[in-house]
Structure 1
Amino acid sequence: MSRTFIVADDHPLFRGALKEILASLADSVTVEASDFDDAAAALTAHPDADLMLLDLAMPGNGGLSGLAVLRAEHPGVPIAIVSGSDDAVVIARALELGASGFIPKSASLDVIRDGIGRLLAGDVFLPEGFTPPSEPDPELSSIADRLRRLTPQQTRVLAMLARGLLNKQIAYELDVSEATVKAHVSAILQKLGVDSRTQAVILLGKLGWSQ
């Protein structure tokens, strides 16, 4: 049976390499995305995809914020990170937000192929030698737990707040009323345990989210 994969990366050559690896591992259809909006649209169009490979630094992704949004909206699709960074803290935070694995772009094609194969088998793949931070940060764990309480739409609104968008702009992008956005913002602040939009964005910064 044919599988569906989504490769979300802004570098065409790297997308091509990943597509070839996926084709060698399974009878498959690979959907490509070059920015976060395309990646989100691809997941919406293929909600039963077998795997997404997501570049953290892709335009519009906002670092870990994009991962959090996609995981909230499509909890059943495994999403593995491909990144030019193999920083242990970033890897640990990605796993906390629901990533199925982390593949460094600096790895050889053989290692990437092995990693993807293990992901398709249902395993978690991490860089060789990865050691999680010795002492989990209780504050970061608490923030991640609170983020997981948000609904998919609230997570998307929060990501837009982190981009500095006003309620009017968020309403336009989501095609909802400004009153609906205000209700979402109020619920977000309550679930995160903060009093203002600024404090909410500061929390995201602590978890490694970026604009």
Structure 2
Amino acid sequence: MKALIVDSEEIFRLSLREVVAVSASFTDIIEAGSEHEFLAKTAAHTDLSLIILHPDSLSKQGEDWVKLIRRLYPGIAIVTVANDTHVPESRWMGTLTVPRTASVNTMITTVRRAMRLPTDNTAGHYGKVKAPDLHATSSNDFSRFQENIPATTTNEGVDLNRLSYRQKQILAMAADGLPNKEIAARLNIAEGTVKAHMHSIFKVLGVSNRTQAVIRYGASGKPMGPNGTPSPEYRASAI
């Protein structure tokens, strides 16, 4: 069985991977962080058994995406993750809905219900399940990424001076674990502007996702100050 997690926040996708992995015997857990990735993954994988969808991560109405999923995969198990804990399940066309703040056991139970698997003993069986160890997961991702970094990529090879002052601010905040929405609020800019800057950062650093960009940032050896403020010695090159 294959599962697809659709969420724009990478840290949340990492958490859900851990949850999905212990919920059922999935052979592959796939991720999509944008509409483009979502469409690409659904085009490449025709045998999905479960989709966990955070509708607010996609620009169009969430109901439209649920309709699309059901056309592509009739009978597939769908779990929607809602920001608002008071949103009625009827809005998501009968899919199982959980709040973004749901506990690990609640999410496991919901996944198993969606998959029509027994849940009677779920609480007891998974009662000792701890929240996903994001530090360990990130460390594993870091190790895998390091193995794939070309030999020519060293600390000296990571030139953050190619980034604008604003891009350096955003990258520093991303390295602190702030989501795009929080970064936008702190810098008083639109969330879409943050996303556009992030894509530009990916291109400049030669990476394909947020985690890799943060790793490159850490490898530069030139950290910034609090809230993404460049250190004094770093400001002159940012202008």
State the structure with more CA Rg: 2
Higher relative contact order (CA 8 A, sep 6+): 1
TM-score, scaled relative to structure 2: 0.45
